[in-house]
Amino acid sequence: MSDLEPRYNSYVGYFRREYGERLQKIVIDAGFTCPNRDGKVGFGGCTYCNNDAFHPGYSTPDRSITWQIEEGILFHARRYRKATSYLAYFQSYSNTYAPLEVLKARYEEALAHPKVKGLVIGTRPDCVDEQILDYLAELGKEHIIIVEYGIESCHDETLRRINRGHDFACAQRAVRMTAERGLRVGAHFILGLPGETREAMLAMAPLINDLPLHSVKFHQLQLVKGTLMEQEYRDCPQDFVTFTLSEYIDFFIDLLEQLRPDLCIERFAGEVPPRFVNETPWGLIRNVELLRLLEKRLEERNTRQGIFYNFVR
């Protein structure tokens, strides 16, 4: 391996290679909800979820999508001064969970902004159908369209425990239906959900590899104030695997070594504002520092993404 060769396939690196620039996401709250909140498949939402902890202050459904984009550009200009192109990231709740005409109006308002090159649409596997995906495929002929599914775990027992309201087979179907239309597909997973051992988490690698995914995003479990999972942890702490920062980085590298080399790694850990949690066991560490620590540890272990991929297929 060359000293200059990246040790993992980063999402940012992919966009720079593909488009010659960074494409910065602007988070949009378009006012959607979820089927496990409104009673279609359940109530209360996922046991770990408080959406306020995962999006910036400018992203608010009482403002228009155009307003949120303009505010998002100003927000990111302080940190990414060279960014000139953006992706509108429909993040909050399930962003395909509405009639098609509603979806069209909201997506097309975002795409009408001259600096928006495409959409990232965060949703659930049980909130897409052929009609919606056909429409997104049409948009994809002229714009960057990425559908990002919250899968969270490949284990059905875990999905039931966290009140997801769908099983892993549902996620497999949705990902394949989306990829068949030529759309880029991303997926989100949480590491450290209740009942999952380190071995169970690592066992997800071949299942993830088997999905026609373009990108993956991993977060360590964070116990957000006021969620059902916060109470579950108080009641049954023995059911949770917790990691120190160094333990998590080593564990993630163990997983990374088994993942397909072509998978883009968008994120391997997450940040929640301190006001949403009772403790910050890793301290107030920012994502840029997490990435530096990951890269340093990969070098120390002299390893890379996918080094064991052929052994877990």
Q: Is the confidence at residue 49, as pLDDT, over 80?
A: yes
Whole-angstrom Cα distance, residue 139 to residue 106? 13
Q: Is the confidence at residue 153, as pLDDT, over 50?
A: yes
Average pLDDT of span 109-138? 97
Residue 281 lies inside a defined structural domain of this protein: yes
Residue 5 lies inside a defined structural domain of this protein: no
Average pLDDT of span 99-108? 97
Query: Predicted confidence band at 179 (pLDDT cuts at 50, 70, 90)?
Result: very high
pLDDT, greater one: 283 or 111: 111
Query: Predicted confidence band at 204 (pLDDT cuts at 50, 70, 90)?
Result: very high
Rg (CA), the chain: 19
Residue 131 lies inside a defined structural domain of this protein: yes
Asked if 226 and 274 touch (Cβ cutoff 8 Å), the reply is no
CATH of residue 139's domain is 3.20.20.70
Average pLDDT of span 74-87? 80
**Full domain range(s) for residue 222:** 11-306
Average pLDDT of span 240-251? 96
Percent of the chain at pLDDT above 70? 95
Residue 59 lies inside a defined structural domain of this protein: yes
Residue 174 lies inside a defined structural domain of this protein: yes
Longest dimension (CA), the chain: 54
Give the Å distances, CA to CA, from 33 to 28, 85, 140, 209, 232.
13, 28, 24, 30, 24
Whole-angstrom Cα distance, residue 280 to residue 62? 31
Residue 172 lies inside a defined structural domain of this protein: yes
Q: Is the confidence at residue 2, as pLDDT, over 50?
A: no
Residues 6+ apart with CB under 8 A from 81: none
Average pLDDT of span 218-243? 94
Query: Predicted confidence band at 4 (pLDDT cuts at 50, 70, 90)?
Result: low
Give the Å distances, CA to CA, from 189 to 149, 161, 171.
9, 15, 12
Print burial letters for 9-44: b (CB count within 10 Å at least 16), e (below 16): bbbeebbeeeeeeebbebbbbbbbebbbbeeebbee
Query: Which of 159, 163, 186, 158 has the alpha carbon at shortest distance from 174?
Result: 186
Q: What is the pLDDT of residue 53?
A: 58
3-state SS, the chain, equals CCCCCCCCCEHHHHHHHHHCCCEEEEEECCCCCCCCCCCCCCCCCCCCCCHHHHCCCCCCCCCCHHHHHHHHHHHHHCCCCCCCEEEEEECCCCCCCCCHHHHHHHHHHHHCCCCEEEEEEEECHHHCCHHHHHHHHHHCCCCEEEEEEEEECCCHHHHHHCCCCCCHHHHHHHHHHHHCCCCEEEEEEEECCCCCCHHHHHCCHHHHHCCCCCEEEEEECCCECCCHHHHHHHHCHHHCCCCCHHHHHHHHHHHHCCCCCCCEEEECCCCCCHHHECCCCCCCCCHHHHHHHHHHHHHHHCCCCCCCHHHHC
154 φ/ψ angles, rounded to the nearest 5 degrees: -95, 0
Helix axis angle for 130-139 and 168-179, nearest 10°, is: 40
Asked if 148 and 177 touch (Cβ cutoff 8 Å), the reply is no
Residues 6+ apart with CB under 8 A from 141: none
Average pLDDT of span 168-180? 98
Give the Å distances, CA to CA, from 172 to 21, 196, 241, 244.
32, 20, 26, 32
Which of 70-79, 131-140, 222-231 has the least mean pLDDT?
A: 70-79
Residue 3 lies inside a defined structural domain of this protein: no
Question: Does the predicted TM-score (pTM) go above 0.85?
Answer: yes
pLDDT, greater one: 29 or 311: 29
Cβ-based burial of 136 (10 A; exposed 0-12, middle 13-18, buried ≥19): buried
Average pLDDT taken over every residue of the chain:
92
**Residue 144: both structure tokens together:** 């960057």
Average pLDDT of span 213-242? 95
Which of 113-122, 214-223, 234-243, 268-277 has the least mean pLDDT?
A: 268-277
CB atoms within 10 A of CB 269: 21
**Count of the separate structural domains present in the chain:** 1
